[in-house]
Amino acid sequence: MDDSLAFYLVPIFNAASVFGRTIPNKLADKTGPFNLLAPFSCVSGALMLCMMTVHSKGAVMLLAILSGFMSGALIGLPPLCLAVLTKDKSRLGTRIGMGYAIIALGVLISGPSGGAILSGNGNTSHWNTLWKFGGVPTCLSGLGYAAIRVSIYGPKLKIKA
């Protein structure tokens, strides 16, 4: 990939993330946040794993758009899940703060860990390992969200959860 395309990928990703933060939140009013967060997490992880296989500029740009949209949902939907789980709404701010404090630990650890993975000679295999390092846990988090949803609301898919 040439440097000129790499320069534009972050703004493309961030622009798509804006829509990913807003559209799924609107849909969650009708479907429930857990019904969206679980599949969005799995798809986001799968898109990270797909990055190992793309080589054309168009495919990289498409994955940047789709990944940005999906990652936006992963930022916008967790507070809605916590709001649904909180019966006493006066504690909602505390719960969201505690939830993001836990998320912060993963973010704090994953950046340096990803850098350590890439600290080799920068060849393709190190990048593939990095995509696996991000994609597999994201897919697993989607399965975790699905398990939480089923444990609280049951296995019926047509219920707002």
Residue with tokens 């990944």: 67
d(CA 37, CA 78): 8
pLDDT in tens, 19-31: 999 999 999 999 9
The CB density around residue 133, as the number of other CB atoms within 10 Å, is 17
Which CATH architecture does the domain made up of 3-153 adopt?
A: Up-down Bundle (1.20)
pLDDT in tens, 146-156: 999 999 999 99
**pLDDT band at residue 121, thresholds of 50, 70 and 90?**
low
Query: Residue 24: helix, strand or coil by DSSP?
Result: helix
Enter the pTM of the model: 0.89
pLDDT in tens, 75-96: 999 999 999 999 999 999 999 9
d(CA 160, CA 98): 25
d(CA 158, CA 132): 33
* Domain range list for the chain: 3-153
**Cα angle 5, 10, 15; round to 5:** 115
pLDDT of 104 over the 90 cut? yes
The CB density around residue 105, as the number of other CB atoms within 10 Å, is 9
Percent of the chain with pLDDT over 70: 96
